[in-house]
Amino acid sequence: MRILFAGVLFAALWGSGSVATKLGITVSQPLLLINTRFILAAVLMLGISRLINKDRLPRGNEWVSLLLCGLLSMAIYPTVFVYAMKHVTAGIGTLGSATCPLLISVLNAIWLRQKITWNIWTGLFFGLSGVAIAVYPLLVNAHATPLGVLLLTSGMVCYSVGTVYYQRIQWTLPRLCINGWQVLFGSVILLPFTAFLFDRAENHFGLLFWSSALWLVVPISIVAVQLWLYLLKAEPTKASLWLFLCPIFGFVYAYLLTNEPITSYTVIGTLLVIGGLYIGKKEKSATEAVQTGQPPHDMATTVADRNK
């Protein structure tokens, strides 16, 4: 029962990331929302890492690796994703990001010059087909735009590249320390752009803004990631199955909180994505699951919690 509760709670929290982002950018500029969230998360994680855990500072080339991870996963990807959310529905954001594990598998195979297995290609085909089917009526009815889909796709690719780079590094730093520093670097990189584009008239620092920012930091970036790590340790070969619930929760939240439509296209597309994820992951070994397992997208800061 404990694993069941943890798995459902993880999927319920993780699936809310797109909606929290979508709501936040209705009252603020995208970069401001990202930077507010990153600064809060970095202060919290590095504070715990240094003051409570007494973790050491990075050394030598670790600084370069953390900077590159911060650039790819904490600066470029979140920026592209949050701007995509201005042009697509929250449900599509969740569904599209759910295909990232399949893209990561393909990029890993290319990087290591390994043959890409039939289940990865099949899973990727089903996953991308599912996203296309779910997006189609939204494009027709102006709930999504081609620009939004292009940004979302670019973000998925960028995030996957960042993840593959992260996986190739032999980290000796504790996970919380790694996350804290790369989030801080991402925030520092984005800060000049945030300041340059800042327009006071577009930002309303009320309950909705702070609720969205804090939700992205605490329930998603911290609680959901800790639940994920617990699931990986408890059932390494089965943990990824909980990822399949995230798009379902995402569409339900989008329907209830932002009045986004759920159609037969949505249902069919979601089922195809879930099927693609299952096919693409079903041959994963216990060891590989521990090494590569992670939540499917970084709308949460510590999605970079990929000490896989």
Q: What is the pLDDT of residue 302?
A: 40
Lowest mean pLDDT among 34-43, 46-55, 236-245, 292-301: 292-301
Nearest to 295 by CA among 214, 217, 226: 226
Of 181, 240, 249, the residue nearest 9 (C-alpha): 249
Going by C-alpha positions, the residue among 141, 127, 93, 28 that lies closest to residue 254 is: 93
Enter the tokens of residue 295. 């939540």
Distance (Å, rounded) from C-alpha 103 to C-alpha 161? Answer: 9
For 35-44, 88-97, 183-192, 256-265, which range has the lowest pLDDT when averaged over its residues? 88-97
Name which of 41, 60, 37 is nearest 49 in CA terms.
Answer: 41
Measure the CA–CA gap between 96 and 250, rounded to whole angstroms: 11
Helix spans in 198-303 (H): 207-215, 225-234, 245-258, 264-281, 286-292
Of 22-26, 75-79, 193-197, 207-211, where does mean pLDDT reach its minimum? 75-79
Provide the pLDDT confidence category of residue 164 given band limits of 50, 70 and 90. confident
Residue 143 pLDDT more than 80?
no
- Closest listed residue to residue 291, CA positions, set 164, 177, 182: 164
Structure tokens at 276: 């693609």
The band of 142, judged by pLDDT with boundaries at 50, 70 and 90, is: low
The rounded distance, in Å, linking the Cα atoms of 280 and 138 is 27
Both tokens assigned to 256 = 């209830």
Give yes or no for residue 179 having a pLDDT over 90: no
Contact between 99 and 128 (Cβ < 8 Å): yes
Residues in contact with 222: Cβ distance below 8 Å, sequence separation at least 6, in sequence order: 41, 44, 302
pLDDT at 287 over 60: no
Q: Is the Cβ–Cβ distance between 23 and 212 less than 8 Å? A: yes
According to the per-residue pLDDT averaged within each range, which of 18-22, 89-93, 100-104, 241-245 is highest? 18-22
Tell me what pLDDT residue 196 has.
93
Cβ contact 153:77 at 8 Å: no
